[in-house]
């Protein structure tokens, strides 16, 4: 709430005639700038979410405000500065481009829908984007998470944010949510494509690591399906890449705090592989659909340094799906499936459709 009103609503991508159906692509969020104050605002919102940190408030809030928010932002801001792009945070730039391309792909198929993106924490916020869609006259909204694997910490938190908005909205649009697509054929196919292309160009590694964002181990015991869904994604992807179980490892990164998180942890895994004599390791992060701090800094910089320091010789961080053509197609297929029954083929204005085609072409989804 406190952060939303300072920013203009983002533009939306439409086909001219006011459409009534929208797709809202939602990602985690990112700071507005690679500075300590901006990172502090972002982390304050993120780490106050009870879906993310499941410690009783009375215990957690003094730690958050007394230790974490005074100390962590400066260190995190330096990491963000090391990956910041000309136009801003990579996570936001990729998510924006995905929304534009998804709009183009759906338009190609004759769907007159609006596509916007939103961030669960930071900007553009979910509530600001929902307000803007409503102001535009949208009456049906499909919420698509950027997370293929369901977790209470991410997917459910997104639903919480939408429902917080709906609780102060009188005339609600119809709402649909996608919970998961960790085993979706199009998603797996797109991952296999990006990794396969990397191997066509650079040869295969001695060992392949699939690193997913971690969550506290306790969430698994409490019934969060995330761990199982990561393993299913990895199994399907390994099969597509013709990897036998000894040729790959699934690991979990980005541990936060002192509690036990899902194991094995990525960095110790990389060091152990080097110690075992593995010369070249390739790391992919299939749970991240856009490159971000966790892939560009934690894996491609810190992970590489850890592997090489432990005696490894070559380290390849494979890019995330980002603007990959097959990935955008998979997103469009997924959206189309979940839009079924909503009348979206309302004959778009041909001039606006041509313009959106040009825009998709100019953006040049990578092959």
Where is the binding site for Fe(2+), in residues? 213, 294
| Residue window 179-208: x/- pattern of binding to ligand L6N33NVT, with contact defined by CB under 6 A | ------------------------------
Q: Is 154 exposed, middle or buried (0-12, 13-18, 19+ CB in 10 A)?
A: buried
Q: Which of residues 217-276 bind ligand L6N33NVT (CB under 6 A)?
A: 226, 254, 256
d(CA 220, CA 281): 28
**For the chain, first and last CA: distance in Å?**
40
Q: Do the Cβ atoms of 365 and 325 come closer than 8 Å? A: yes
Selected binder of ligand L6N33NVT within 12, 151, 233, 251 (CB under 6 A): 151
**Is residue 32 near Fe ion by the rule CB under 5 A?**
no
| Residue (166 or 254) nearer to Fe ion, CB | 254
| Residue (29 or 186) nearer to Fe ion, CB | 29
Contact region with Fe ion (CB under 5 A), list: 11-19, 174-182, 185-193, 289-297 = 289-297
Query: Residue 62 has which token pair?
Result: 């003094």
Distance of CA 191 to the CA centre of its chain: 14
To the nearest 10 degrees (0 to 180), the angle between helices 126-135 and 157-166 is: 50
Selected binder of ligand L6N33NVT within 153, 157, 251, 322 (CB under 6 A): 153
Q: Do the Cβ atoms of 217 and 224 come closer than 8 Å? A: no
Total residues at the site for ligand L6N33NVT (CB under 6 A)? 23
Min CB(169)–ligand L6N33NVT separation in Å: 27
Strand-strand pairing, 140-145 and 21-29:
parallel
d(CA 182, CA 231): 9
**Is residue 22 near ligand L6N33NVT by the rule CB under 6 A?**
no
Q: Do the Cβ atoms of 219 and 152 come closer than 8 Å? A: yes
Q: Which of residues 55-74 bind ligand L6N33NVT (CB under 6 A)?
A: 72
Indicate the annotated binding residues: 213, 294
**Is residue 123 near ligand L6N33NVT by the rule CB under 6 A?**
no
**Is residue 298 near Fe ion by the rule CB under 5 A?**
yes
d(CA 253, CA 262): 9
Min CB(254)–ligand L6N33NVT separation in Å: 6
- 232 touches which of ligand L6N33NVT, Fe ion, none (CB within 5 to 8 A by kind)? none
**Is residue 292 near ligand L6N33NVT by the rule CB under 6 A?**
yes
Min CB(346)–ligand L6N33NVT separation in Å: 35
Q: What are φ and ψ of residue 304, in 5° steps?
A: -60, -50
Q: What are φ and ψ of residue 179, in 5° steps?
A: -90, -35
Tokens 């990164």, residue located: 253
Selected binder of ligand L6N33NVT within 24, 53, 128, 331 (CB under 6 A): 53
d(CA 99, CA 12): 9
Query: Residue 22 has which token pair?
Result: 């929208």
Selected binder of ligand L6N33NVT within 117, 208, 248, 288 (CB under 6 A): 288
Q: Which of residues 227-266 bind Fe ion (CB under 5 A)?
A: 254
Q: Is 62 exposed, middle or buried (0-12, 13-18, 19+ CB in 10 A)?
A: exposed
- 114 touches which of Fe ion, ligand L6N33NVT, none (CB within 5 to 8 A by kind)? none
Residues lying near Fe ion in the complex (CB under 5 A) are found at 254, 294, 298
Residues lying near ligand L6N33NVT in the complex (CB under 6 A) are found at 28, 30, 47, 52-53, 72, 76, 89, 91, 147, 151, 153-154, 213, 215, 226, 254, 256, 287-288, 292-294
């Amino acid at each position: 709430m406190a952060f939303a009103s300072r920013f203009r609503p983002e533009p939306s991508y439409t086909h001219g005639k006011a459409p009534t159906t929208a797709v809202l692509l939602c990602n985690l969020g990112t700071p507005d700038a690679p500075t300590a104050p901006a990172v502090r605002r972002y982390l304050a919102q993120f780490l106050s979410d009870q879906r993310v940190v499941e410690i009783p408030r009375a215990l957690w809030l003094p730690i958050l405000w007394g230790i974490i928010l005074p100390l962590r932002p400066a260190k995190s801001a330096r990491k963000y500065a090391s990956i910041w792009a000309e136009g801003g945070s990579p996570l936001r730039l990729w998510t924006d481009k995905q929304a534009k391309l998804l709009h183009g792909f759906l338009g190609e198929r004759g769907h007159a829908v609006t596509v916007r993106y939103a961030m669960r924490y930071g900007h553009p916020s979910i509530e600001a984007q929902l307000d803007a869609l409503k102001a535009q006259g949208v009456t049906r909204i499909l919420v698509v998470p950027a997370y293929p694997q369901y977790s209470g910490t991410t997917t459910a938190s997104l639903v919480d944010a939408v429902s917080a908005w709906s609780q102060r909205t009188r005339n609600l649009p119809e709402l649909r949510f996608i919970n998961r697509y960790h085993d979706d054929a199009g998603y797996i196919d797109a991952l296999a494509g990006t990794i396969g292309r990397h191997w066509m160009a650079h040869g295969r590694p001695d060992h392949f690591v699939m690193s997913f964002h971690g969550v506290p181990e306790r969430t698994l015991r409490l019934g969060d399906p995330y761990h199982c869904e990561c393993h299913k994604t990895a199994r399907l992807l390994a099969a597509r890449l013709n990897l036998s179980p000894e040729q790959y490892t699934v690991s979990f990164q980005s541990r936060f705090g002192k509690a036990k998180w899902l194991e094995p942890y990525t960095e110790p895994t990389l060091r152990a592989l080097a110690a075992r004599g593995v010369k070249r390791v390739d790391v992919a992060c299939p749970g991240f659909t856009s490159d971000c701090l966790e892939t560009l800094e934690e894996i491609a910089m810190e992970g590489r340094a850890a592997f090489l320091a432990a005696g490894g010789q070559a380290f390849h961080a494979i890019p995330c799906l980002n603007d990959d053509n097959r990935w955008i197609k998979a997103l469009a297929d997924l959206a189309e499936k979940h839009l079924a029954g909503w009348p979206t083929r309302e004959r778009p204005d041909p001039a606006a459709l041509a313009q959106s085609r040009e825009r998709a072409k100019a953006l040049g989804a990578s092959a």
